[in-house]
Amino acid sequence: MSNSDAIAALGQAHELANYGEYSGAPTETQTYEYAKTILDLMTRSPTPHPEGKVLIIGGGIANFTNVASTFKGIVRALTEFKQPLIAHKVRIFVRRGGPNYQEGLRSIRQLGESLGVEIQVFGPETHITEIVPLALTGKASDNLAVANGAVNGISSGNLLQDQLLGSTSTVATPAATAPVSRAGTPPQERMTYFTEADTKKTGGHDTNREVPSVAAMIYPFGGAHVQKFYWGTKETLLPVYTTLEEATTKFPEVDTVVNFASCRSVYQSTLDILKHSDQIKTIAIIAEGVPERRARQILWEAKQQNVLVIGPATVGGIKPGCFKIGNTGGMMDNIVSSKLYRSGSIAYVSKSGGMSNELNNIISRTTDGVYEGVAIGGDRYPGSTFIDHLLRYERDPNCKMLVLLGEVGGVEEYKVCEAVKNGTIRKPVIAWCIGTCAKMFATEVQFGHAGALAQSDLETADAKNKALRAAGVVVPETFEKLPLVLSQTFQGLVKKGTIQLKPEPETPKIPIDYSWAQELGLVRKPASFVSTICDDRGQELLYAGMRISDVFKEEIGIGGVLSLLWFKRRLPEYACKFIEMVLMLTADHGPAVSGAHNTIVTARAGKDLVSSLCAGLLTIGD
């Protein structure tokens, strides 16, 4: 949606032929089919456009999507459409970040060398929408240097890599721990080892942790047990309980629960958690697809119990040096490059989880970093709203500047306007609402999130940006200028002495899991099993280099399959028919039954007579 806004800001909304997005870690096959559909629509016209066409593959910094895996599907589709892309003079601009993005971008860059189509590739060091002016005008905007952190000496770092009344508590402190519902999935492990980066006091940033940020797990479908997780280079054991009551009794200091239950069970499990509101003060609900009625019931009950709810449909939130929820912040390389291992001065709240990671990146490049960030979720009835979190930030003396990233749909931003006007919020607020392109369309457009739909003029992004600006909030002219106003406001606070710059600590060295390092190509291991015939390591099974989908598509039959498995190559059609004829003639194997066969094989393997006989006899059934 931010890229569509950028296109509209350049006066090119009438040229926008298609807007689409994918989310939720799709497989290679899913992205292949999706990309193939887009490319087919793009090149279907028999008469190419005289000025050619532009394909923008623009994505934020993913929290958990394997970029390399999804890009494999895009590469397959682009390869299939090589000639149509050339004929229609298509130019392709790519920007992406997230887990394994280096490999994904490398594959796209390599493809550009052989495809015969112009492909320009950029990573998270480039502002998310910067490829739009590059694609449409041929030059970068004036904000590129700012977005990349080259402003006033701020280093860009490693490029690779309805109000809740009466709540005065913070979501997390440097010693925060939490029980997690549902045991043993990757997000919980990432929460546990997040604070590996924070085991020492470095520079002026107090981010000391001596225990993991996850205290225990709750899994009602098995007995109490322990589960292994990494803590630094060693493994630690975390207890798994069947009930929250057990966990809270064992860990009376815990006040936060992260609920990973599915959309079908999250309602009842959240109500069960709210029964412990004397201790549990914050609940994060990750599940998407929660019915709106259930979400509103959870919100009402949480207000009665004075409990802060983040979500549903949220990636979570992060407080550098203290705690992170689920997949927030992405993999460790992104946490390091966005400096999320130590506390900064800027707190933000957004709807989108993906865009929250983009804010981590922008804030780290233009200021001294993130103090806290929360994604409230994109549903129409989130458990907490912008004003809930901004009021928390206002009360926190360590937070010096507030950032709000809203979007089209909903009216929660107007509560922020009132709070700024009446002086409830006094700290500098920078805000922007995405979805300004919606006015360019003749009909209402549903963008990504369930709540990203304007059902009145008040809910449009333009109206909310205008109201925020009138209230005294710093609102940039476009999203592309957000890094600039962030930098200017931050430098102003530094000059006033509101923010005291601290020496940058040494970048921590974070251990990386072997399986992930292997996928990144950083380590290798000798194969313990070698097959020159079949390959099941990728998304699709290969028979002697031939995809199983092509085996069925080309209808090569049993003979063709056996030619691949036995002879490691495609045999001529007559040879395949001969193999099938032999199989039909010998289908009744006569005396060569399995029992006798097992006896023969066992004897040939050097076993004694009794063992060989037992091998045959014991396989005989009725």
CB 143 within 8 A of CB 134: no
AA identity, residue 337: S
Q: How many Å from the N-terminal Cα to the C-terminal Cα in the chain? A: 65
Cis bond leading into 312, ω under 30°? Answer: yes
What are the strands of the beta sheet with 214-218, ordered from one edge? 225-231, 234-241, 214-218, 178-181, 256-259, 282-285, 308-310
Q: What angle do CA 343, 345, 348 make, to 5 degrees?
A: 95
Q: Which two tokens stand for residue 281?
A: 């003060």
CA dihedral 344, 387, 394, 495 (to 10 degrees): 60
AA identity, residue 473: V
* Residue 589 falls in the annotated catalytic set: no
Residue 403: which residues within 8 A CB-CB, separation 6 or more?
346, 347, 348, 349, 359, 363, 429, 430, 431, 486
Nearest to 1 by CA among 14, 16, 15: 16
Helix count (H) and strand count (E) of the chain?
A: 23, 19
How many CA atoms lie less than 13 Å away from 157 in the CB half-sphere?
A: 29
Nearest to 189 by CA among 240, 229, 226, 247: 229
Catalytic entry in 225, 449, 589, 597: 449
Distance between CA 339 and CA 232 in Å, rounded?
Answer: 18
Q: Which two tokens stand for residue 583?
A: 């199989």
Q: Which residues are catalytic?
A: 449
